[in-house]
A and B are shown apart, each in its own frame.
Chain A
Amino acid sequence: MTDLLINGVVIGVLIALVALGFALTFSILKFINFAHTDLITVGGYLAYSCGRLKLSVVPSVIVATVLTGLLGVVIERLAYRPLRGQRLSMFLSSFGVSILLNSSITLCFGSTSRTLPIAQDAVRVAGRTLASAEVIALCLFLVLLPLSWFIFRKTQYGLAARAISENWDGVALLGIPCDRLVSCVFFVSSGLAALAGILLGSLYSLSPQMGHKYGIWAFVLVVVAGFGSIFGIATTGLFAGLLITAVMYCFGSYTFVNAVLFGILTIVLLVRPDGLFGMRLRRF
């Protein structure tokens, strides 16, 4: 049972990492960046490519994370910035970017699943055998989520980022470089997606569609938690991971997972349209 709990927590952590990236971009630009799901995949495949180029594990992870972060910045600059303020157009543009990224990955690597040989060693923790990737995921969760909360709630950068979402022109008049701030947020959120992709690829396998499944789960999580709460995302993420594990264990079936998750999403939206911890959705 302990293994099952650990497994649920790890899944929850990974979904929360992806969801955090979703929430960061939404909190500033007020649109769902659907291409975020494919940045998960890009991160995984970049780490895979680094491995093929004989880079060791740590440089591979750093290079893949930074490159994916930069890709996120480029995407924002080319595909979203010209459409800024038109949320529907930005959303549709993110679909286009998603298809472009997915097709590019398939063209470059084929559609066959691949193994990402990173952090696959077993480690003993409190008498339990865990994959290194599981331990790394838990550590990242414990570091990154409080750090994100601190940056966005307690620093001037975070204050400026939140202010941009309320009154872009007003913040710009104060001399704050809004575009650069948005680029920073995209860099961070894309980097988080890359880290999640690397860990997912290591724990399971890499495939061009891998990001979509976890991306959609993360999207459900963000909506259920509410878009504005980092700790809400963390808490709901852990709950979602445990729920997915419990559903699969109890029903002996993968088929029920999406039914249960989307059922909960529907109920939450009916009862609390703003999410369990979030700011008011209807304003957006």
Chain B
Amino acid sequence: MTSRTKVFAAAVAVVAGLGLLIAVLRLGTGRSDTVRIGSILVLSGNYKSQGEQIRDGQTIAMDEINARSRIKLDIVFRDSEGEKEISLRNVKDMQSQGVNFIGEIFGSTEALHCLPFIRQQNMLFISGVDTGASLSAAGGKHFFRIMPSDRLASQHLAAIATARGYKKAAIVFANDVWGKGLKDEMEAEYKRLGGETTLVLDTVKNQDLFQPLVARLKADRPTVTFLFLYARDAANFVKEARRQGIQTEFMGTDNLTGSEFADVGEDAASGVMYVVPGPPTASDRRLHFQQLYKAKFGASSEPPLFATHGYDTVHVLWEAIEASGRDVPRVISYLEQVHYDGASGPIAFDRNHELVVSEYRLKAFRRSGGQTTVEDLGPIGR
């Protein structure tokens, strides 16, 4: 062996030894000091504003956690483009990179498509915005949500509509998992409370041709019209309805909470009502989040609902991971017992992993001087 070969062999041995040492040290600590959570949002297209709201809330939570925690949190944001196949591809990609916790899959249709894989791979998915009634059954113990299901939302919506004397209704819905689920729940609940659904109109996402449907609505003369459409479509529908001079109340759920409905609907949005879960007064956690949100984004108004839910989703998941390690079954067990005081209100889950909701409130858009504000009309009694 020449001296040159000996030097080379020694160098290889040193490098290999160092590599082995690092590997042993890492094994000794058990894992890296970063936990990765996946978040698959709509970050392009017509509904990106809602995805961006969730990302804003989750980013604030991540910054807050990383400022105080030794173990760091890394949220991997991906754009689903509102497509279920892209969402699933992202989930699979993340799982192959060792990500076992999903902090959001935006959209009930997309979430429903991903849940079989999540169950199969023993992952955990907690959602702050998906409301599709069928998600709990599809996700089983691997799915939690801090947004009430459409079943609960429709119960409160039906209750407030009938209490206000709106006994004849039309339903306009987006013909997908979310819209159809909400429509079915609403029809059943409204009928149970004595209301009559006289007209059901279905649309597709991003539809722009509403005149014939609005003309049909005008002929039916319902006292209330439930809008289970995506925000932009709902805004365009209401605009056309106002143009045709329809006399009906418009009501929706959390689908109308983003800025998009008010922005697109402009004057037509005024008077449209919606029901959302939430406490009547701001908790300390909520005030804290408001301050962080305004400091980061310079916003003058309150953080939107989806940002608040994104913030809470990350925090409640992080609390479970911190308390029980990164083992998915142990995190699930922790979440089943959790009582967390979130910015959106108290967070606890029932045996179906649905949010236990203390209260729903009725809100309405008001338009004045070119500005849209939201008026709180009070709690909904059932």
A residues with a Cβ closer than 8 A to B are: 3-4, 7-8, 11, 110-113, 204-205, 207, 209-210, 244-246, 248-249, 252-255
**Alpha-carbon distance A252/B207, docked complex (angstroms):** 14
Chain A to chain B contacts (Cβ below 8 Å), 23 pairs: A7-B211, A11-B209, A111-B44, A112-B45, A112-B46, A112-B48, A204-B236, A207-B46, A207-B208, A210-B208, A244-B209, A245-B211, A246-B212, A248-B212, A248-B216, A253-B175, A253-B201, A253-B202, A254-B202, A254-B207, A255-B175, A255-B202, A255-B204
Residue B203 at the chain A interface, CB threshold 8 Å: yes
Q: From residue 42 to 61 of chain B, which have CB atoms closer than 8 A to chain A?
A: 44-46, 48
**Alpha-carbon distance A202/B208, docked complex (angstroms):** 11
With A111-B44, A253-B201 known as contacts, the answer to whether A209 contacts B213 (CB < 8 A) is no
Residue B199 at the chain A interface, CB threshold 8 Å: yes
Contact partner, B215, options A11, A110, A113, A249, Cβ 8 Å: A249
Query: Measured between C-beta atoms, what is the minimum distance from B221 to chain A in Å?
Result: 15
| Contact code string B110-136 (vs A, CB < 8 Å = 1, else 0) | 000000000000000000000000000
With A205-B236, A254-B202, A254-B207 known as contacts, the answer to whether A248 contacts B45 (CB < 8 A) is no
With A249-B215, A253-B202 known as contacts, the answer to whether A110 contacts B44 (CB < 8 A) is yes
Closest 7 CB pairs between A and B? A248-B212, A204-B208, A111-B45, A249-B212, A7-B211, A252-B201, A245-B212
Query: Nearest CB to that of B260 among chain A residues?
Result: A112
> Judging by beta carbons under 8 Å apart, are B206 and A113 in contact?
yes
Residue B200 at the chain A interface, CB threshold 8 Å: yes
B residues with a Cβ closer than 8 A to A are: 44-46, 48, 175, 199-204, 206-209, 211-213, 215-216, 232, 236, 244
Query: Nearest CB to that of A209 among chain B residues?
Result: B206
Query: Measured between C-beta atoms, what is the minimum distance from B255 to chain A in Å?
Result: 17
- With a CB–CB cut-off of 8 A, which chain A residues contact B215? 3-4, 7, 249
- With a CB–CB cut-off of 8 A, which chain A residues contact B232? 113
Q: Interface of chain B, helix or strand or loop or mixed?
A: mixed
Contact partner, A113, options B46, B201, B202, B204, Cβ 8 Å: B46
Query: Nearest CB to that of B244 among chain A residues?
Result: A3
- With a CB–CB cut-off of 8 A, which chain A residues contact B212? 4, 7-8, 244-246, 248-249
With A4-B215, A112-B48, A113-B46 known as contacts, the answer to whether A248 contacts B209 (CB < 8 A) is yes
Query: Measured between C-beta atoms, what is the minimum distance from B42 to chain A in Å?
Result: 10
**Alpha-carbon distance A21/B202, docked complex (angstroms):** 32
- With a CB–CB cut-off of 8 A, which chain B residues contact A244? 209, 212
Query: Measured between C-beta atoms, what is the minimum distance from A210 to chain B in Å?
Result: 8
- With a CB–CB cut-off of 8 A, which chain B residues contact A207? 46, 206, 208
**Alpha-carbon distance A143/B48, docked complex (angstroms):** 41
**Alpha-carbon distance A28/B359, docked complex (angstroms):** 67
- With a CB–CB cut-off of 8 A, which chain B residues contact A255? 175, 202, 204
**Alpha-carbon distance A207/B207, docked complex (angstroms):** 11
- With a CB–CB cut-off of 8 A, which chain B residues contact A4? 211-212, 215
Contact partner, B46, options A3, A111, A252, Cβ 8 Å: A111
> Judging by beta carbons under 8 Å apart, are B244 and A252 in contact?
no
* Residue among A246, A252, A254 with most chain B CB within 10 A: A252
> Judging by beta carbons under 8 Å apart, are A254 and B206 in contact?
no
**Alpha-carbon distance A4/B200, docked complex (angstroms):** 19
- With a CB–CB cut-off of 8 A, which chain A residues contact B209? 11, 204, 244, 248, 254
Query: Measured between C-beta atoms, what is the minimum distance from B49 to chain A in Å?
Result: 8
**Alpha-carbon distance A64/B378, docked complex (angstroms):** 50
**Alpha-carbon distance A11/B135, docked complex (angstroms):** 39
Q: What 19 additional pairs, Cβ within 8 angstroms, besides A3-B215, A112-B45?
A: A3-B211, A3-B244, A7-B211, A7-B212, A7-B215, A111-B44, A111-B45, A113-B206, A204-B208, A204-B236, A205-B236, A207-B206, A244-B209, A249-B216, A252-B199, A252-B201, A252-B202, A253-B202, A254-B207
> Judging by beta carbons under 8 Å apart, are A252 and B200 in contact?
yes
- With a CB–CB cut-off of 8 A, which chain A residues contact B45? 111-112
Query: Measured between C-beta atoms, what is the minimum distance from B245 to chain A in Å?
Result: 9
- With a CB–CB cut-off of 8 A, which chain A residues contact B207? 254
With A4-B211, A7-B211, A205-B208 known as contacts, the answer to whether A252 contacts B44 (CB < 8 A) is no
With A111-B46, A113-B46, A207-B46 known as contacts, the answer to whether A254 contacts B213 (CB < 8 A) is yes
With A11-B209, A204-B208, A209-B206 known as contacts, the answer to whether A252 contacts B48 (CB < 8 A) is no
- With a CB–CB cut-off of 8 A, which chain B residues contact A110? 44
**Alpha-carbon distance A113/B207, docked complex (angstroms):** 11
Query: Measured between C-beta atoms, what is the minimum distance from B232 to chain A in Å?
Result: 6
Query: Measured between C-beta atoms, what is the minimum distance from A217 to chain B in Å?
Result: 11
- With a CB–CB cut-off of 8 A, which chain B residues contact A246? 212
Query: Measured between C-beta atoms, what is the minimum distance from B218 to chain A in Å?
Result: 9
Query: Measured between C-beta atoms, what is the minimum distance from A205 to chain B in Å?
Result: 5
With A248-B213, A249-B215, A249-B216 known as contacts, the answer to whether A254 contacts B203 (CB < 8 A) is yes
- With a CB–CB cut-off of 8 A, which chain B residues contact A3? 211, 215, 244
**Alpha-carbon distance A205/B48, docked complex (angstroms):** 17
**Alpha-carbon distance A255/B202, docked complex (angstroms):** 7
Query: Nearest CB to that of B82 among chain A residues?
Result: A111
- With a CB–CB cut-off of 8 A, which chain B residues contact A252? 199-202, 213, 216
**Alpha-carbon distance A245/B208, docked complex (angstroms):** 13
**Alpha-carbon distance A4/B209, docked complex (angstroms):** 12
Query: Nearest CB to that of B172 among chain A residues?
Result: A252
Query: Measured between C-beta atoms, what is the minimum distance from A240 to chain B in Å?
Result: 13
**Alpha-carbon distance A248/B216, docked complex (angstroms):** 9
- With a CB–CB cut-off of 8 A, which chain B residues contact A249? 212-213, 215-216
Query: Measured between C-beta atoms, what is the minimum distance from A133 to chain B in Å?
Result: 13
**Alpha-carbon distance A248/B213, docked complex (angstroms):** 6
Query: Nearest CB to that of B245 among chain A residues?
Result: A129
- With a CB–CB cut-off of 8 A, which chain B residues contact A205? 208, 236
- With a CB–CB cut-off of 8 A, which chain B residues contact A11? 209
**Alpha-carbon distance A200/B45, docked complex (angstroms):** 19
Query: Nearest CB to that of A11 among chain B residues?
Result: B209
